[in-house]
Structure 1
Amino acid sequence: MQPTFVLVHGAFANSFSFAPLQAELGLLGHRSVAVDLPGHGFGAAYPRAYQAPQDLEGLATAPGSLKGVTLADNAAHLTGILERAGRNGPVILVSHSRGGITATAAANARPDLIDRIVYVSAWCPVALDAGDYYSEPEMATVDTASLAAAMAGNPAELGLLRTNFRTADPEVLAALKAAFLADGTDEEFLAFLNTFQPDENLDTGTRADRAQAATWGRIPKTFVRLAGDRSLPLALQDRLIREGNRLTPDNPYDVRTLGGSHLKWLLDPAPAARVLGELAAL
């Protein structure tokens, strides 16, 4: 029976990111569903201050609907989708970037709902909480200072993360492009940037949300490395793979590699669709 691919987006993203991949999967004969986590997609909030002409002072203080949304909320939402998808046969859970944290939490809670879990340059914390990896050597090449320049407001006061993706600051735009789509054109970068939403929830989990051997560790798993990723560097991807393999040595990652940046695989989805098609046949 053909599996259903359940696709989980990363930070500030939504199900729209997966439209080209879903088209490619469909043309190859595969069924897929792209998830919008709570407060994402058409459920996202766009403060009036975010619209042009922008009110930067207002943007820094405007309330957002993602305040108080937790990782547990995300995992519960995903679990409900996995339950529904499972009525139609096997389920392959695919996550990208920060979506891996939600996928891991759902796998810890309900491993019975997932026939394979796939991380595409995605976070799967094992040894540390997700945020703590940013101070590790593998993340030293990430230009966090330039990326922080795109942030709006104080996360502690807003109760959420807010980024001004509609900035016209050339230095900030250059930093964002270098981090996420260095191998794309300026036109592709701006098109993708305009699918992002300004707000993201703060909660990235605690020790209890890291991969657990007794639950997450029972699921067959694949890690798709993105060789040109500068926002989640290859060294960090490889560390996550090593840590996962040490946690479950009898169930190691099946590792695949695609070229390209953090977002290029979504703009040019044919290679990723072929890899996922191979996994569906396992």
Structure 2
Amino acid sequence: MTTTTPLLFVHGFWHGSWCWSEVLAHVADSGRQALAVDLAGHGWRARRPESVTGRPFSPERLATEKSPVADVDLDQAGDLLVSQIRRLGRGGPVTVVAHSMGGSVLTRAAEQAPELIAHAVYLAAFMPASGVSAMECATMPENAGELIAPSVRADPGAVRALRLDTVSAEPAYRAQLRQAFYGDLDPADADAALGLLTPDAPLGIALGTTTLTSDGWGSVPRTYVGCAQDMTIRPPLQRKFIDDADAAFPGNPTLTVALDAAHSPFLSMPDRVAEIVGGLG
């Protein structure tokens, strides 16, 4: 029997627990207990706007229909994640691996219940400083050149979501989405993944902030796994996350791992991701 902590995997915006399937297969070889969960407003909890698949297709309706996940916020997402961590660990500590926007939710959960998290692993993830939202981070100069903002197909403030046209047949747009998420995957594999995305990501999660304390998030061991080809969270922003965290909590420095990968290494190099997280916690 393994004596290491259980592993819990948290996806990012538009994705679901499905995206960790290949990593989980590799983790299973080690015999370690592991689980992937759906964030609030995603996966099993996702709701799709009618305008995305409605026919005849109306770009105007796509740009204006209020999101069915408009009421989902960081408070709700953080509370759900804490409950998921508690259930997996049965009250004991768990190593949590978060991707992309899942990082902001992990930060909230770690501040709320640091005793439940043995190690926080940020995989190409948002790791905002105290009182800073992930949305603010996404628009910082360090994230120049990212491809998510140009891919959003509605005013987030109006529809209360970051909306992608996940079923678009426009070649240039689909190529942009592939580059944003899966730039190191074969196009056919990338298209298969795009087909599983949820069109709406709740704006409330991206706008939420967490006040970080030395007894909360600042006390939890953390690792940042950066991706050199990332077109969603650009490498300079990844570096800023690490530098800001270390400046705020110098007694608990961030461990770092570098991957020559695009934004979604759980699909392009799942064996390596499993190897990295398997050595933590």
1:98 match = 101
Once the two structures are TM-superposed, the CA of residue 184 in structure 1 deviates from its matched residue by 1.5
- CA–CA distance in 2 between the matches of 1:98 and 1:266? 17
Once the two structures are TM-superposed, the CA of residue 147 in structure 1 deviates from its matched residue by 1.9
Letter in 2 for 1:14: G
- CA–CA distance in 2 between the matches of 1:278 and 1:54? 51
Once the two structures are TM-superposed, the CA of residue 198 in structure 1 deviates from its matched residue by 0.8
Which of 46, 50, 53 lines up with 2:52 in the alignment?
50
> In the alignment, does 2:236 pair up with 1:240?
no
- Kept in 1, the 8 Å contact 2:8–2:97? The answer is yes
- CA–CA distance in 2 between the matches of 1:73 and 1:212? 20
> In the alignment, does 2:132 pair up with 1:131?
no
> In the alignment, does 2:57 pair up with 1:66?
no
2:19 match = 17
Letter in 2 for 1:26: A
- Which sections of structure 2, spanning at least 5 residues, go unmatched? none
- Match of 1:38, SS state, is coil
1:272 match = 273
1:179 match = 180
Q: How many equivalent pairs are there? A: 276
1:30 match = 32
- CA–CA distance in 1 between the matches of 2:263 and 2:37? 19
1:4 match = 6
- Kept in 2, the 8 Å contact 1:155–1:161? The answer is yes
- Alpha carbons of structure 1 residues 161 and 275: separation in structure 2 relative to 1, 3 Å: same
- Alpha carbons of structure 1 residues 64 and 194: separation in structure 2 relative to 1, 3 Å: same
- Kept in 1, the 8 Å contact 2:180–2:230? The answer is yes
What's the C-alpha RMSD, in Å, of the aligned pairs? 2.0
Once the two structures are TM-superposed, the CA of residue 129 in structure 1 deviates from its matched residue by 2.7
- CA–CA distance in 1 between the matches of 2:268 and 2:30? 17
When normalised by structure 2's length, the TM-score is 0.91
- Which sections of structure 1, spanning at least 5 residues, go unmatched? none
- CA–CA distance in 2 between the matches of 1:279 and 1:96? 16
- CA–CA distance in 2 between the matches of 1:191 and 1:168? 14
Once the two structures are TM-superposed, the CA of residue 277 in structure 1 deviates from its matched residue by 1.2
Q: Percent identity?
A: 30
- Match of 1:94, SS state, is strand
Which of 133, 147, 172 lines up with 2:151 in the alignment?
147
Once the two structures are TM-superposed, the CA of residue 115 in structure 1 deviates from its matched residue by 0.8
Describe the superposition over 1:124-172 as per-residue Cα deviations: whole angstroms up to 9, x where unpaired: 1116332222332211122456323xx1x33333222221111111121
Once the two structures are TM-superposed, the CA of residue 52 in structure 1 deviates from its matched residue by 6.9
Once the two structures are TM-superposed, the CA of residue 199 in structure 1 deviates from its matched residue by 1.1
- CA–CA distance in 2 between the matches of 1:87 and 1:13? 26
Structure 1 residue ranges, 4+ long, deviating more than 3 angstroms after superposition: 57-64, 143-146
- Kept in 2, the 8 Å contact 1:104–1:210? The answer is no
1:39 match = 41
- Alpha carbons of structure 1 residues 213 and 2: separation in structure 2 relative to 1, 3 Å: same
- CA–CA distance in 1 between the matches of 2:38 and 2:148? 26
1:199 match = 200
Once the two structures are TM-superposed, the CA of residue 205 in structure 1 deviates from its matched residue by 4.1
- Kept in 2, the 8 Å contact 1:70–1:201? The answer is yes
- Match of 1:117, SS state, is strand
When normalised by structure 1's length, the TM-score is 0.90
- Alpha carbons of structure 1 residues 47 and 133: separation in structure 2 relative to 1, 3 Å: closer
- Match of 1:115, SS state, is strand
> In the alignment, does 2:115 pair up with 1:112?
yes
